[in-house]
């Protein structure tokens, strides 16, 4: 086994959209597991929108990445050395190993993966944190009822695609919003959405709202919020009385810079938004999925068989090589990915 590994660190904080110069590929000494820890060779690592927020030195629900510190994130791979009875060399495990070829994590922070159930990459997407985010927010906060109308942005991503497919299985009308005709076609033909609006084809918010109104003639009961921006502005006036808004992300605003809590760039639309929430008696609930991992077993029990039987479809956008992770990350933030964004590191 080599005595060196590769990793990607935060070279400097971005101002707006991240660029390649915000990252640096390094060679480092191979870590050695201590008591109760395991060393893993990464096969796939996950790229997720929340990582953009951690690049800013701003107060949030998680600690920002320090300059010259390895970028954090989930990864799945093979255990190559273990100092815990929970794992043996050759086991496949998923944990927060970050942007690197190898990593050491405490065994009690790992989840063992059975490669015979589904491809191991699914532990980072449809059967991992993103899929769980969609399942939890839709069921626990969305409180769906058959016959209602749901709208979700980033409809072909791992969160949005889960939300839309679960909505259809529970008898709701599912409307997606995605960037590009190909993604919209996939949402309808492969994921089963009733319709999908291409936000890139909309000239402005009014144009997008008109398109949404045509496919939501009875208004919107659940808006699963993971994008904000123009989608939020278009949907809010369409919300029905007693509508619910699970809020897990706002990717359209992530590149606005190191904004503090409650800050955004551009015109102040808060008064109008706040009035809509009041008049329509809306329930808006922000949630951080790491607060709810006590429900992960329930999620796997329900969704695992659906994925295995082909009743939940998914798509992965895989980039080869750790050195290309920054490029893939930047593409994802710009909406140029198609499905769950992954980097194939090894294996």
- pTM surpassing 0.85? yes
What top-level class would CATH report for the domain 4-125+315-344? alpha beta
Question: What are the two backbone dihedrals, phi and then psi, of residue 242, each rounded to the nearest 5 degrees?
Answer: 70, 25
Beta strands in the chain (DSSP E): 4-10, 23-29, 37-46, 75-82, 92-95, 102-106, 111-112, 149-152, 173-178, 195-198, 220-224, 239-247, 283-286, 316-320, 340-344
Distance from the Cα of residue 127 to its chain's centroid: 12
Q: Specify the DSSP class assigned to residue 139.
A: I
d(CA 215, CA 233): 17
Which residue ranges in the chain fall short of pLDDT 50?
A: 258-264
User: 129-290 maps to which CATH number?
Assistant: 3.40.50.720
Question: What are the two backbone dihedrals, phi and then psi, of residue 191, each rounded to the nearest 5 degrees?
Answer: -95, -15
Q: Which residue has the tokens 């590769």?
A: 6
pLDDT score at 265: 53
Kind and range of the H or E run holding 132: helix 129-136
Cβ burial 92-117 (10 Å sphere, 16+ → b, else e): bbbbebbbbbbbbbebeebeebeeee
Neighbouring-strand partners of residue 23: 10
Q: Say if CB 38 and CB 9 are below 8 A apart.
A: no
pLDDT score at 146: 98
d(CA 33, CA 38): 5
pLDDT score at 262: 43
Nearest CA among 311, 329, 333 for reference residue 319: 329
In the chain, where are the structural domains located?
Answer: 4-125+315-344, 129-290
Q: What is the pLDDT of residues 241-299, one digit of tens each?
A: 999 999 998 877 766 654 444 444 557 778 888 999 999 999 999 999 999 999 999 99
Nearest CA among 32, 31, 54, 37 for reference residue 109: 37
pLDDT score at 256: 60
First to last CA, the chain: 14
Residue 257, classed as helix, strand or coil, is coil
Largest CA distance in the chain: 64
Q: Specify the DSSP class assigned to residue 127.
A: T
Q: What is the pLDDT of residues 124-155, one digit of tens each?
A: 999 999 999 999 999 999 999 999 999 999 99
Cβ burial 20-43 (10 Å sphere, 16+ → b, else e): eebbeeeeeeebebeeebbbbbbb
Where do the H-state alpha helices sit in 56-215? 129-136, 158-169, 181-189, 205-215
């Amino acid at each position: 086994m080599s005595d060196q590994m590769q990793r990607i660190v935060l070279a400097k904080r971005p101002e707006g959209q991240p660029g390649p110069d915000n990252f640096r590929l390094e060679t480092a000494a191979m870590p050695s597991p201590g008591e109760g820890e395991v060393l893993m060779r990464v096969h796939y690592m996950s790229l997720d929108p929340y990582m953009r927020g951690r690049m800013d030195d701003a107060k949030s629900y998680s600690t920002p990445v320090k300059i010259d510190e390895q970028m954090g994130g989930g990864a799945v791979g093979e255990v190559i050395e273990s100092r815990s009875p929970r794992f043996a060399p050759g086991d496949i495990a998923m944990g927060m190993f970050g942007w690197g070829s190898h990593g050491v994590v405490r065994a009690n922070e790992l989840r063992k993966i059975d490669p015979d159930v589904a491809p191991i990459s699914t532990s980072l997407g449809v059967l991992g944190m993103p899929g769980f985010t969609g399942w939890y927010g839709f069921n626990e906060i969305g409180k769906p009822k058959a016959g209602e109308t749901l709208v979700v942005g980033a409809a072909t991503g791992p969160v949005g695609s889960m939300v839309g497919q679960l909505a259809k299985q529970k008898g709701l009308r599912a409307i997606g919003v995605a960037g590009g005709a190909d993604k919209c076609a996939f949402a309808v033909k492969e994921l089963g959405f009733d319709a999908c609006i291409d936000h890139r084809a909309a000239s402005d918010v009014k144009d997008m709202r008109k398109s949404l109104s045509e496919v939501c003639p009875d208004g919107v009961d659940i808006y699963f919020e993971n994008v904000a921006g123009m989608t939020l502005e278009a949907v809010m006036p369409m919300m029905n009385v007693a509508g619910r808004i699970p809020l897990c992300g706002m990717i359209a605003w992530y590149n606005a810079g190191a904004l503090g809590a409650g800050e955004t760039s551009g015109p102040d639309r808060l008064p109008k938004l706040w009035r809509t929430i009041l008049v329509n008696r809306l329930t808006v609930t922000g949630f951080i999925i790491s607060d709810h991992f006590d429900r992960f077993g329930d999620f796997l029990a329900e969704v695992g068989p659906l994925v295995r039987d082909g009743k939940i479809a998914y798509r992965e956008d895989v980039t080869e090589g750790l050195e290309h992770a920054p490029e893939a990350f930047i593409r994802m933030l710009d909406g140029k990915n198609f499905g769950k964004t992954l980097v194939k590191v090894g294996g």
